Structure formats: C-alpha cells, structure tokens
Amino acid sequence: MFRFNPNRKAVEKGFLFTIGLLTVVAVLPLFYILYTVTLKGLPVILKRGTIFFTGTFSEGGIGPAIAGTFLLTFLSSLIGVPLALMVGMYSYENPRSVLGRWTKALLEIMMEFPTILVGIFVMAVLVIPMGTYSAMAGAFALVIILLPYVAVYTHEAMRGIPFTYKEAGYALGLTRIKVLFRILAPMAKRGVLTGVLIGIAKAAGETAPLLFTAGGLYESYPTSITKPVGTIPLLIYQLIQSPSPQDHATAWGASLVLMVIFIAVFIPLRMSLKEVKL
Amino acid sequence: MNFAIETVDLNVYYGKNHVIKDVNLQIPEKGIFALMGPSGCGKSTMLRTFNRILELKEDTRVEGEVRLFGKNVYSPEVDPIEVRRQVGMVFQYPNPFPHMTIYENVAIGLKLNGLVKSKEDLDERVEWALKKAALWDEVKDRLNDYPRNLSGGQKQRLVIARALAMKPKILLMDEPTANIDPVGTAKIEELLLELKEDYTIVLVTHLPAQAARASDYVGFLYLGELIEAGPTRKVFESPEHELTEKYITGALG
C-alpha cells in the first residue's frame, strides 16, 4: 500500500531551493566581473576622455591596441570562418568516412587544447622563420583557436535538421552542393552563426596564443601585417605586471573597452538571429 | 503495354536486412496506384527506389531494375539527379522549407535547377502550380508569408505544388495524409483524383480504406514481398490471396 511521507513536500522545496541557490552562485562571478570592471574602468575612461580610445600609450590611450584587436579579429575571421564552415559541412556530409570521423574527433580535441601551445606552435612555424613577431602570426594562431568552435557548431546545427528536409531537397533534383548550401545551411543559420560569433569572440578575447606571436605595439598604429601588433588582452596582461598605478588604471580602462566590445558584438547579434521554426 | 514504373526482380537490403524481396511490379501510366501494407513492410523503402532517393540513407543496397517509362534508372550511365527532376515526391511529414516563403517554396526547384528564363515565367509557373495543387485561392494574398501558419493540409498541398512546379510525369506520395486531419485528408484525396488525369501517382498508404477510396490500381506489400497487385476493384472484391483478404478486412496489421 501507499506509505505516507509527511516530509515529501518539504524535501521537494528544500531541493528546489538548493538548486536555485547553486545556480545563483554559478552565475555570480559573471555579474561580479561586470560590476568590478565597470566600477574601476569607467572613472579612468571618463578622466582621460576620447584620447583613451585614440591616443597612443604615452598619450595615455590604447588606440593601437583597439586597432590591433580589430585587425587580428578581422584577419583571423576572414581566413578561419570560411575554412571552418567547409570543415563543419564536410564532417556533417561524410560522418561515416574515415576522414569525417577523425575530423569531428580532432575538432573536439582542438576546442579543449591549451591555447598557449597554439602560440608555441605558431612561433615555431612562422615567427622564428620570419625573424619577427607579426600580425600575420597572431592571426594564424587565432585561426587555430576559432576554427574548431565554428566547425563543431556548424556540424551540430546541420545535424539538428530533420532528415525529411534533406530528402525533400534531393527529391527536387538538386545537386548535393545545392541541397547543402542553398537549402540546409540557411535552415541551420542560427546555430551556425552562434558558432561563428563564439569563434570570433574567442579570437577577440584570447591572450595566450598571442604572447609569442603578435608581439605588441602600443606607441603607433599597425601599418603592416608582417610587423608586430598589439591587442587589448595582451596589453592588459602586460600592464598588470607593471608596478605603476598609472598602468593599472589603463589596464582597468582597457578591460572595460574589451568587455563592451564583447557585449556589443555578441548580444545584439544573438538576439536578432531569428530561429527557423520547423 | 508500356508502364510508367516497372520493377524487375527488385531487392533492397539495409545492411544485412533483406527488406524488399524479388518484387516484380507494374504500374500503368496515369491514374493512382496505391501501394498498401502494414507499417514496416517496405512500402516507403520501395517508393524511394523509384526516384533513387533511397541512396541518401547509409548502408542500403539495391539489386534488380526499376524502369521508368521503360528505362532502368539503376543502370550505371543514369544520373540520379536527372531521374529526380522528372519524379515529384510528397512526404509523410508535411515538409515545406520553413525558412522560405510560400512563393519561394514553390519556386525553389525551378530556380536552383535553372529551369525558368525570367521572373515573369517564374511567377506564372508558381501560380500555375499553386492552382494545380488547389491552394492558390487560400494563399494568393500571402505568398510572402512563411509556411508556419498554414494548416497541416495546406502545408501538404504546398509540398505538392513544389513538386508539380517541376512538371514531373510521376508523383510519389509517401503516406501524404498520415499527419493530416480528416478535413485536410479529404481535400488532398479530392486533389489526387484531379491530378490523376495528368500524372501517374503512386500513393503509399497503410490504410486499406484509403486505397479503396482513392486508387485505380493497388499493390499489397507484406514483409517485403508483393503479395498481390491489380485493379483496385478486383483486388478488393475478389482477392486472390488469403493474406490480402485478411488485410483488407482488417484481420491483419
């Protein structure tokens, strides 16, 4: 027969409360970061004014670093995104082929790979032979960082499309390429673009792979992709090691700029992407 | 006699499973041919050999011949893409492309296959196909809407229009009313009766009653074997095989 447990509802409530509490604890750091960076960064930017965004380092600004971040993000996306889309499509279309299976597995390993090793690899194959740090080397390292994210997200987004749409495309007498790129890829666009954004956001925010590749450039704007370039995260990393409070202030300001760029790119794009309703 | 579709010793395997066994079937030109049988007996699989769409699935093997108007589509020199352009298909789950408008759904096959010369030709053909699919009056004012607000039956007629726009000779229908309400089903069956004047329609169904209502010829498939085929009236009134009789009287499956 049924046994009566007088604590049943209390246990349920306690359980829900605990889970709710743990959830709050888990996302708390995010809000703390937003809060601290704004609190410490905003006064610096307000005090220095527009020179902070446009001036060189000795003028009290981080203009070259902002330009460098955009340059490297642009270059690495330009090369990495199309390449990653192709790789993702390939592993989706050929999931049982030897190459397809390996690609998927390797991409997932690449996603979790320590990024500093990417930097060392690029240093060995580009920086040492060229004899200099360069924007090119930095961009190459970032391509390796963003590629697996974009490719894996593409693969997963494509896999989420019901098989019947693939059949419908082929039943119209379309070639494989047309079914893939004109029918299925647009259906998966939300997932694919999420991957692209995460990849780009990763590339824009990375520090470790740039340590031995991009070099750094803060007293003048970048002029060539074969010369060293600075980025915001790299600058923050270098300034935090300095003993000067002035440098720390610049680092806080730069952190706020990085955070705002990140939020400004990520949130509107993610919200504006319409989900394809099946 | 020349048949629209004819299979010769057709065998299909999924890996080691033998799912279609030595089927020899003739489907006459024009009219509705119902392929009936209980679920999982190979109807959909067989239908997918007629336009070679079965090969999208992994691990399938087809032996024997499928002749469309006398030509074996499985002979090595045949390009499956050419076959599919001449054979329209409608699916069990109404699957208009959700990211395209009603207009684009009908136009997509023509556009991507480069079959129309101008925008006017395309407009004309889209209108023609939607009229032919008995959907024009219901959607003519919202061609640029997405299909998500259409009813199941309307979606299915949109898929029929998408297939008709390609001007196929054969229309394959894989349980087109399985997910549609009774009113929508009646409309689709009515539409099929009009379309059969111009097209050879192969209708897969697991409902003997639907086969009896809608078809001119019928084939009964059971566990991968063709038990019996012939004019619908004859098969339903005096079945030759005991299994057929059991199936149509509801004693089976």
Confidence (pLDDT) at A101: 86
Distance CA B67, CA B70 (A): 5
Spatial strand order in the sheet of B217-222: B87-90, B170-174, B200-205, B31-36, B217-222, B225-231
The single residue listed with the structure tokens 């998927």 is A104
Confidence (pLDDT) at B2: 76
Residues A162-169, mean pLDDT to the nearest whole number? 95
Write out residues 159-178 of B within 8 Å (CB-CB) of A.
159, 162-163, 166
| Mean pLDDT, rounded, of chain B | 93
Among the listed residues B237, B236, B231, B227, the one whose alpha carbon sits nearest the alpha carbon of residue B37: B227
ipTM of the complex: 0.93
Confidence (pLDDT) at A275: 58
Q: Of residues A270 and A242, which shows the higher confidence score?
A: A242
Write out residues 51-80 of B within 8 Å (CB-CB) of A.
51, 53, 56, 58
To probe the interface with B, which of A164, A166, A167 has the most B CB atoms within 10 Å? A167
Distance of CA B219 to the CA centre of its chain: 14
Indicate whether A251 belongs to any domain.
yes
Contact B166 A96 (CB under 8 A): no
Residues A233-258, mean pLDDT to the nearest whole number? 93
Spatial strand order in the sheet of B71-72: B17-28, B3-14, B60-68, B71-72
Indicate whether A235 belongs to any domain.
yes
Q: What is the pLDDT of residues A179-233, one digit of tens each?
A: 999 999 999 988 888 888 889 888 888 899 999 999 888 888 988 888 999 999 9
Ramachandran assignment for B223, one of left (phi > 0), alpha (psi -120 to 50 degrees), beta (any other): left
Paired sense of beta strands B200-205 and B217-222, if any: unpaired
- Residue A277, pLDDT > 60, answer no
Helix (H) or strand (E) holding B187: helix B182-195
Q: Could you say which of A171, A276, A277 has the minimum Cβ distance to residue B89? A: A171
Distance CA B7, CA B2 (A): 13
- Residue A269, pLDDT > 80, answer no
Contacts of B139 (CB under 8 A, 6+ apart): B102, B130, B145, B150, B154, B158
Count of CB atoms situated within 10 Å of the CB of B163: 27
Tokens standing for A237? 């990393």
Q: Is B114 on the interface with A (CB under 8 A)?
A: no
Q: What is the pLDDT of residues B82-92, one digit of tens each?
A: 999 999 999 99
Q: Could you say which of B92, B99, B109 has the minimum Cβ distance to residue A187? A: B99
As a residue count, chain A comes to: 278
Distance CA B155, CA B181 (A): 12
Confidence (pLDDT) at A97: 85
**Which band of pLDDT confidence, cut at 50, 70 and 90, is reported for residue A9?**
confident
Domain annotation for chain B: domains and CATH numbers: 1-86+169-253 (3.40.50.300), 96-167 (no CATH)
The single residue listed with the structure tokens 């038990």 is B227
Paired sense of beta strands B217-222 and B170-174, if any: unpaired
Contact A178 B112 (CB under 8 A): yes
Residue in A with minimal Cα distance to B164 = A172
Report the gap between the CA of A162 and the closest CA in chain B (Å): 10
Q: What is the pLDDT of residues B148-206, one digit of tens each?
A: 999 999 999 999 999 999 999 999 999 999 999 999 999 999 999 999 999 999 999 99
Indicate whether A169 belongs to any domain.
yes
**Which band of pLDDT confidence, cut at 50, 70 and 90, is reported for residue A44?**
very high
CATH code for the domain in which residue A82 is found: 1.10.3720.10
Confidence (pLDDT) at B50: 95
- What Rg, from alpha-carbon coordinates, does chain B have? 18
Report the gap between the CA of B165 and the closest CA in chain A (Å): 10
- Residue A276, pLDDT > 60, answer no
Residues A144-162, mean pLDDT to the nearest whole number? 93
**A143 φ/ψ angles, rounded to the nearest 5 degrees:** -60, -45
Distances (CA, A) of A206 to A68, A74, A114, A143, B168: 13, 14, 12, 11, 55
Q: Could you say which of A163, A172, A187 has the minimum Cβ distance to residue B108? A: A172
Distance CA B64, CA A256 (A): 69
Indicate whether A171 belongs to any domain.
yes
Confidence (pLDDT) at B104: 95
Q: Is B99 on the interface with A (CB under 8 A)?
A: yes
- Residue B253, pLDDT > 80, answer no
Q: Could you say which of A96, A170, A276 has the minimum Cβ distance to residue B56? A: A170
Q: Could you say which of B84, B98, B99 has the minimum Cβ distance to residue A170? A: B84
Tokens standing for A228? 């060293």
Type of residue found at A260: V
Q: How many domains does chain A contain in total?
A: 1
Handedness of CA A203, A206, A210, A215 (dihedral sign): positive
Distance of CA A255 to the CA centre of its chain: 16
Beta strands in A22-120 (DSSP E): none
Contact in structure between A197 and A263 (CB atoms under 8 Å): no
B166: which chain A residues are within 8 Å (Cβ-Cβ)?
172-173
Domain region containing A225? 65-272
Distance CA A141, CA A116 (A): 10
Q: Is B81 on the interface with A (CB under 8 A)?
A: yes
Ramachandran assignment for A49, one of left (phi > 0), alpha (psi -120 to 50 degrees), beta (any other): left
Contact A187 B113 (CB under 8 A): no
Distance CA B107, CA B128 (A): 11
Report the gap between the CA of A80 and the closest CA in chain B (Å): 26
Indicate whether A77 belongs to any domain.
yes
Indicate whether A278 belongs to any domain.
no
- Residue A3, pLDDT > 80, answer no
Type of residue found at A195: G
Confidence (pLDDT) at A38: 95
Indicate whether A9 belongs to any domain.
no
**Which band of pLDDT confidence, cut at 50, 70 and 90, is reported for residue A272?**
low
Confidence (pLDDT) at B1: 60
**3-state class (DSSP) for residue A229:** strand
Q: Which of A95-104, A117-126, B162-171, B237-246 has the lowest mean pLDDT?
A: A95-104
Indicate whether A146 belongs to any domain.
yes
Distance CA A143, CA A148 (A): 9
Contact in structure between A210 and A234 (CB atoms under 8 Å): yes
CA angle, B13 then B16 then B22, to 5°: 35
- Residue A258, pLDDT > 60, answer yes
**3-state class (DSSP) for residue B16:** coil
**Which band of pLDDT confidence, cut at 50, 70 and 90, is reported for residue A128?**
very high
Residues B209-233, mean pLDDT to the nearest whole number? 94
pTM of structure: 0.83
**B68 φ/ψ angles, rounded to the nearest 5 degrees:** -100, 120
CA angle, A35 then A36 then A38, to 5°: 70
Confidence (pLDDT) at A278: 53
Tokens standing for B72? 């074996």
**3-state class (DSSP) for residue A9:** helix
Residues A47-62 as b or e (16 or more Cβ within 10 Å = b) = ebeeebeebbbeebbb
| Mean pLDDT, rounded, of chain A | 90
DSSP state of A58: G
Confidence (pLDDT) at A273: 65
Query: What counts of helices (H) and strands (E) characterise chain A?
Result: 13, 0
- Residue A141, pLDDT > 60, answer yes
CA angle, B149 then B153 then B156, to 5°: 90
Residues A3-22, mean pLDDT to the nearest whole number? 88
Residue in A with minimal Cα distance to B79 = A173
